[in-house]
Amino acid sequence: MNKIFIYIIVIIFSISCNKIKQDDSNWFVVYKNDKRGNTVSGNKQHLINAIRKGASIRIGWGAKGKNHTIEHLSDPIWIAILDKTEVIAHLDPQVLSAIDWKNLTANYADSTLIKKEWRVVLDTKGNFDAIWYDPIGRKITEHRPQNHTITWFIRNIDIQTAVKPLFEE
């Protein structure tokens, strides 16, 4: 009886560990658009299907300057599908750190940054609208509309099967 009980526990533990391992490693690019919203890779309709199925979404973008590059990944806090064809996503407001490019580290040495939130809305047309917001003074202190190549990741889910719009019964 003890051996059977231990055997069952080992099987359950193995299955649960394998599930955790799979869940951590199954992100993939479903769609990538350039700065003008043109498709670089993937399929925008597959992204829309995944959103309608409630898939976890992760968004990546970056920039290349004269001397440095930076890449970002973020999970959006709010996503919308506009007229069944375009996706917009809002990122979680952030208190940004300063970057020490010489040592490739980040810090909050510039205390003025702590008083501002960075907020972004981006879309599948390459638009990336960033603001710096003062939550105490309740005002926008900077507005920097930009365009970026944006990569849209999802967790492993059936993306080819179409799903009805969420407003349809």
pTM comes to 0.80
DSSP 86-125: EEEEEPPPB-PPEEETTTTEEE---HHHHT-EEEEEEETT
What does the block give as tokens for 41?
Answer: 């890779």
Running along the chain, 169 residues long, what does each successive block of 10 average in pLDDT? Answer: 50 47 72 97 96 96 95 97 98 91 89 87 98 94 97 88 86
pLDDT at 112: 78
Task: Give the pLDDT of residue 160.
Answer: 82
Q: Alpha-carbon distance 127 to 145, whole Å?
A: 7
CA gap 138, 7 in Å, rounded: 60
- DSSP H or E stretch at residue 39: strand 39-42
pLDDT recorded at residue 43? 97
